[in-house]
């Protein structure tokens, strides 16, 4: 398999999940600025959406959208319990988290990286983002991870998006449960390896 990624982008989430899965894969750098691969290939010829992540299977089949990719990967290694079994209420709870992260956190917090975004809009988006993260903080009370005491693919996504907060001016230090979650995630070997491979830590 190949994972097309850009350092620190939302593709870090499936990168972490692939490391957790133990499956063999090749990370392929795809610039979100130039939309080219390192060999000069136009990334739009691989993913017409032009953004990461994209997972290419060994048979050439391609999957886009992070929440879908992480569930696909989890389902390849059910013994790892990265996602509850399909059809269970727990799986729907996982999808509830993935949808919340993608719609309420990812787009809002990630949108502030747009250099064309007016500062007035960023002020509003920071306030809304912090409000949503306060809700997450409350959900993490008494829990190690989003789904309870066991890691799931939703945690990789939450970690990835929350990791952007410092860069966009959202202070999560007062959110004790979320801050503890972030520290817990950083300590996971798969997270450390993915971040090291993307050049995010040395």
For residues 21 and 60, membership in a common domain is answered with: yes
Q: 120 and 76 share a domain?
A: no
- Residue % of the chain over a pLDDT of 90: 98
d(CA 5, CA 15): 8
Query: Which domain range does residue 172 map to?
Result: 89-188
Q: Is residue 100 part of a domain?
A: yes
In a domain, 202, yes or no: no
pLDDT of residue 162: 98
| Residue 202 confidence (pLDDT) | 84
Which residue positions in the chain have pLDDT lower than 70?
none
Indicate which CATH number applies to the domain containing 75. Answer: 3.40.30.10
DSSP state of 80: G
| CATH, residue 127 | 1.20.1050.10
Q: Note whether 130 and 175 are same-domain residues.
A: yes
Decide if 104 is inside a domain.
yes
In tens, the pLDDT along 92-105 reads: 999 999 999 999 99
The three-state (H, E, C) secondary structure of 83-140, written as one string: CCCCCCHHHHHHHHHHHHHHHHHHHHHHHCCCCCCCHHHHHHHHHHHHHHHHHHHHHC
Q: Is there a single domain that holds both residue 94 and residue 179?
A: yes
Q: How far apart are the first and last CA of the chain?
A: 26
Amino acid 103: pLDDT:
96
Residues 103 and 73 in one domain: no
> Chain centroid to CA 140: how far?
18
User: How many domains is the chain partitioned into structurally?
Assistant: 2
Instruction: Sort residue 175 into left (φ over 0), alpha (ψ -120 to 50) or beta.
Output: beta
Per residue in 129-165, pLDDT (tens digit) is 999 999 999 999 999 999 999 999 999 999 999 999 9
Whole-number Å distance between alpha carbons of 137 and 202 = 29
d(CA 122, CA 114): 10
Q: pTM to 2 decimals? A: 0.96
Q: Are 2 and 9 in contact (CB under 8 A)?
A: no
7 lies in the same domain as 56: yes
- pLDDT tens digit sequence for 164-174: 999 999 999 99
For residues 125 and 148, membership in a common domain is answered with yes
């Amino acid at each position: 398999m190949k994972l097309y990624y850009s350092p620190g982008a939302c593709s870090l989430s499936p990168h972490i999940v692939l490391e957790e899965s133990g499956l063999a894969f090749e990370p392929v750098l795809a610039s979100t600025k130039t939309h080219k691969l390192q060999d000069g290939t136009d990334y739009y010829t691989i993913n017409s959406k032009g953004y990461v992540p994209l997972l290419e299977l060994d048979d050439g089949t391609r999957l886009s959208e992070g929440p879908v990719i992480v569930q696909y990967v989890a389902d390849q290694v059910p013994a790892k319990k990265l996602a509850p079994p399909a059809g269970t209420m727990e799986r729907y709870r996982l999808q509830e988290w993935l949808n919340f992260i993608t719609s309420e956190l990812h787009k809002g917090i990630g949108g502030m990286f747009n250099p064309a975004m007016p500062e007035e809009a960023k002020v509003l988006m920071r306030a809304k983002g912090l409000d949503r993260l306060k809700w997450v903080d409350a959900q993490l009370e008494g829990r190690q991870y989003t789904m309870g005491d066991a890691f799931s693919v939703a945690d990789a996504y939450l970690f990835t998006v929350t990791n952007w907060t410092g860069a966009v001016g959202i202070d999560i230090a007062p959110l004790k449960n979320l801050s503890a979650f972030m520290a817990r995630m950083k300590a996971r070997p798969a997270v450390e390896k993915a971040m090291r491979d993307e050049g995010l830590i040395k």
